[in-house]
């Protein structure tokens, strides 16, 4: 079977199958690199379904759609991923910045502070005493930097 015979045999079903293969590969990789060629293959299948195009036009439509969708779609998805990112997800300590707590014990700039229901290691440049109210100023790993509050 030569290439031209294969290309002339391409129909809407072939484009649909290509789109499904690309979409499955995209779902497996999760990179959005294959998303736009998959969408272009589906759109080409719909256009090819009308019967108004031949294999050369189908290939041209697919190529133009892949380039256009990638050019416009990729920045859009990147912005959605950036804007929709859950800040503080899996970093409970960063959500504590600005929270109030009570010093459990403290000496020489290091001690522990109870914030909400957890006792955390704490450091401060200020002299603090047990029972004193503090505010979480920043977080470094599992250590809270606190100040009088």
**For the segment 28-62, what is each residue's pLDDT rounded down to a tens digit?**
998 888 999 999 999 999 999 998 888 899 999 99
pLDDT at 94 over 80: no
Average of pLDDT values for 99-121?
A: 92
Residues spanned by the domain of 7 = 3-83
Domain boundary among 83, 114, 139: 83
8 and 79 both lie in a single domain: yes
Neighbouring-strand partners of residue 114: 102, 119
Residue 106 · residue 129 · CB < 8 Å: yes
53 and 76 both lie in a single domain: yes
118 and 78 both lie in a single domain: no
Number of domains the chain is built from: 2
CATH number at residue 102: 2.40.50.140
Domain boundary among 62, 83, 104: 83
55 and 112 both lie in a single domain: no
98 and 34 both lie in a single domain: no
42 and 104 both lie in a single domain: no
13 and 33 both lie in a single domain: yes
Average of pLDDT values for 95-118?
A: 90
Average of pLDDT values for 86-101?
A: 76
pLDDT at 85: 62
43 and 108 both lie in a single domain: no
pLDDT at 78: 83
Q: pLDDT band at 86, cuts 50/70/90?
A: low
The lowest-confidence range among 7-11, 92-96, 110-114, 135-139 is: 92-96
131 and 102 both lie in a single domain: yes
pLDDT at 76: 87
Q: Report angle CA 42, 44, 47 to the nearest 5 degrees.
A: 115
């Amino acid at each position: 079977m030569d290439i031209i015979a294969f290309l002339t045999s391409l129909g809407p079903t072939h484009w649909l199958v290509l789109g499904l293969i690309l979409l499955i590969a995209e779902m497996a990789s999760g990179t959005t690199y294959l998303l736009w060629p998959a969408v272009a293959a589906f759109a080409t299948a719909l256009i090819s379904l009308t019967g108004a195009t031949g294999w050369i036009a189908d290939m041209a439509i697919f190529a133009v759609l892949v380039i256009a969708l990638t050019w416009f779609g990729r920045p859009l998805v990147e912005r959605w991923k950036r804007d929709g990112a859950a800040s503080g997800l899996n970093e409970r300590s960063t959500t504590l910045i600005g929270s109030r707590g009570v010093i459990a014990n403290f000496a020489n700039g290091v001690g522990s502070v109870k914030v909400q229901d957890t006792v955390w290691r704490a450091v401060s440049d200020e002299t603090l005493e047990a029972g004193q109210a503090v505010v979480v100023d920043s977080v470094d790993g599992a250590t809270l930097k606190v100040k009088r509050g």
